[in-house]
Amino acid sequence: MSDIIHLLPDNVANQIAAGEVIQRPASCLKELVENSLDAGATHVRILVKDGGRTLLQVIDNGKGMSPTDARMAFERHATSKIQQASDLFQLHTMGFRGEALASICAVAHVELVTRRPEDEVGTQLEITGSNVIKQEVVQCPIGTNIRVKNLFYNVPARRKFLKTDQTEMRNIITEYNRIALVNPHVQFTLVHNDEIISELPISTTKQRIENIFGHTSKPFTGQLVDVATNSELVNICGFVGKPEMASKNSQQFFFVNGRFMRHPYFHKAIITAYSGLIAADYTPSYFIYFDIQPDAIDVNIHPTKTEIKFADEQAIFQILLAAIREALGKFNITPSLDFTSEMHIEMPQASPQIPPIAMPKLQVDPSYSPFKKSAQQRQNTAGWEDLYTPSFFEPTNQEPNQQLFKLPNITESTPLVQWQNKYIIMLTTDGIVILHQHRVHTAILYKELLKQLQQQKGISQSLLFPDVLELSNEDINILQTLQQDLQTIGFAMHQLTPNAYTITAIPMLLENANPAETILQVIHQVQDTGSNLKQQWQETMTLALADRMAIPIGRELSDIEMRDLIMRFTENCSAQYLSNGQTIFTILTKDEIQKRF
């Protein structure tokens, strides 16, 4: 027998596990409420004291537990929700690891009172530091009432790490909203220090959204547009805010099978659907619910992680993009028909008496541009079905940035005008081309940087005064994965301390952008994509760098500069969209202009 290696006692092992699952009062609350929902509760009451550090109590009317189960529930890996590994792929409950209660009771004083509908009496349990110190028979209502007191009482490091009560409460409200938004069939009450913070009656999803955000400065009443699409792959429903509701801090929620998730890639689909409808630095609000076969997503995610991987993300991107466009189109917010140059269909003006057709199926239209509004206003009742592709919802592998317009050639005499120090307008025989100056340059630099990466030859310039880059542990991890590529492109950096780097050289192209800030931005963009594919990292990194290097909006350009920019663009890339879906240029075609007269 070994003298050195020994098994940790359960209470120590549980305490270590708790560090992962229960990071703060909000994560503890999330686990408790999810248990109530898994138990089929229709009313969940939450009582919080002092931001959750003194008390977190959850009272539900769910199916309760037998005396044996009540005791079992606090054992590690004790769960009633799965029995074998294959169950993981058919998961319909929030919990399944059987870790939460074991973790919570390792780091708090826990009291549980529970009764099943079929039992006359209930069970009361008191647990401290993983030890049951009391188990009794009690009179109590059906359901479960759990009190978690003095969280982290025995882990001083954790307790110290807690923020102010106000901040912890804000985190609790964030978790509460995420859960409430996806369970409108459940009544919720949230009380903090004896004050009612939120009361949510059973309602529809739309009412739930309105109830949750009703008291904020931007209530959603009358501002939500329905989104709904069903396909074999995925069902998507929910709401998006009207474009005029867009702001710098909008409410953005994705849910999959009843669970909140973050998904930067799907977020881009929504942003793409709104492109041209809202100002550049504004984002739309959305509440999107995905319903998908459990085996098409990675369920075995860590309980504290909100990123969820899907099997077929590209196809879902397309479906989502189309669904949002359709939703916006239905409300005449975007063009609902696509008149590309191939479609010369003469359609008489719809008479005002004919009601608009409800819910046309729309073609995926990555070329959507706000300039096509006039065409849409001519929407007609006769023969419109022919314009729609029946296979609309069939997932395609098209990239969202598929090229639809080709940029007409530029000659020395092509007239160019800069407009609003942001767009370059180019007059050609085929139509009027409008190019976004910053994005045209971004596209050129993106190509250039990718080439340098592939050929391993970036051009570097030394900094007179090295810049210092300070990073969090998470940032450091990402930086280390990107470091090689950053060096190839022309950055030189050295680790100073565990959390700081000096930057001594930068790519020639970066000119006067702040080096440390640039790298930080790159790191955060890569982090936001949530991908762990190296190629996607490289692309995100390169695009972020190109974006920093490109001429900004607001810069006045001379005729020569504009001409040079467009020539380089035509030579190198001339795609209509950046790889993040942003439109680089659009064309007001001759036909479209003619239709206006």
Residues that bind ligand ADP (CB under 6 A): 31, 35-36, 38-39, 60, 62-65, 73, 78-81, 95-102, 144
> Shortest distance, CB of residue 305 to Mg ion, whole angstroms?
15
Residue 131: how many CB atoms within 10 A of its CB? Answer: 12
Q: Which of 25, 67, 95, 143 binds Mg ion (CB under 5 A)?
A: 95
The b/e string for 349-381 (b: 16+ C-beta within 10 A; e otherwise) is ebeeeeeeeeebebbbbbbbbebbeebeeebbe
Among the residue ranges 62-70, 90-98, 333-341, 485-493, the one whose residues contact Mg ion (CB under 5 A): 90-98
Residue with smaller CB distance to ligand ADP, 40 or 552:
40
> Shortest distance, CB of residue 211 to ligand ADP, whole angstroms?
24
> Shortest distance, CB of residue 103 to Mg ion, whole angstroms?
10
Cα separations (Å) of 403 from 44, 64, 336?
51, 57, 20
Residue with smaller CB distance to Mg ion, 100 or 410:
100
Instruction: Quote helix, strand, coil % in the chain, to nearest 5.
Output: 35, 25, 40
Residue type, 410: I
Residue with smaller CB distance to Mg ion, 100 or 151:
100
Window 1 to 40, contacts with Mg ion (CB under 5 A): 35
Residue with smaller CB distance to ligand ADP, 44 or 404:
44
SS3 labels along 411-455: CCCCCEEEECCCEEEEECCCEEEEEEHHHHHHHHHHHHHHHHHHH
Residue 523 binds what, of ligand ADP, Mg ion, none (CB under 5 to 8 Å, by partner type)? Answer: none
Measured distance CA(458)–CA(449) in Å, rounded: 8
Residue type, 544: A
Residue 65 binds what, of Mg ion, ligand ADP, none (CB under 5 to 8 Å, by partner type)? Answer: ligand ADP
# residues contacting Mg ion (CB under 5 A): 3
Q: How many residues does the chain have?
A: 597
Among the residue ranges 100-108, 450-458, 463-471, 546-554, the one whose residues contact Mg ion (CB under 5 A): 100-108
Q: Where are the beta strands (DSSP E) in 207-348?
A: 224-230, 235-241, 252-256, 259-261, 286-291
Which residue has the closest beta carbon to ligand ADP?
Answer: 95
Residue 476 binds what, of Mg ion, ligand ADP, none (CB under 5 to 8 Å, by partner type)? Answer: none
- Which value, in Å, is the radius of gyration of the alpha carbons in the chain? 28
Measured distance CA(401)–CA(269) in Å, rounded: 11
Residue with smaller CB distance to Mg ion, 59 or 587:
59
> Shortest distance, CB of residue 297 to ligand ADP, whole angstroms?
18
- Note whether 100 binds Mg ion by CB under 5 A: yes
Token reading at 494: 């050295």
Residues 6+ apart with CB under 8 A from 87: 81, 96
Q: How many CA atoms lie within 13 A of 504 on its CB side?
A: 5
Residue with smaller CB distance to Mg ion, 100 or 321:
100
Residue with smaller CB distance to ligand ADP, 114 or 379:
114
Residue 39 binds what, of ligand ADP, Mg ion, none (CB under 5 to 8 Å, by partner type)? Answer: ligand ADP
Residue with smaller CB distance to ligand ADP, 106 or 546:
106
> Shortest distance, CB of residue 100 to Mg ion, whole angstroms?
4
- Note whether 269 binds Mg ion by CB under 5 A: no
Residue with smaller CB distance to Mg ion, 66 or 376:
66
Residue with smaller CB distance to ligand ADP, 68 or 535:
68
Residue 109 binds what, of Mg ion, ligand ADP, none (CB under 5 to 8 Å, by partner type)? Answer: none
- The H or E element containing residue 59 is strand 55-60
With CA atoms as reference, report the closest residue to 32 among 87, 71, 74.
74
> Shortest distance, CB of residue 295 to ligand ADP, whole angstroms?
19
> Shortest distance, CB of residue 304 to Mg ion, whole angstroms?
13
Token reading at 534: 């190296």
Measured distance CA(295)–CA(363) in Å, rounded: 29
- Note whether 272 binds Mg ion by CB under 5 A: no
Token reading at 190: 């949230």
Interface contacts to Mg ion, rule CB under 5 A: 35, 95, 100
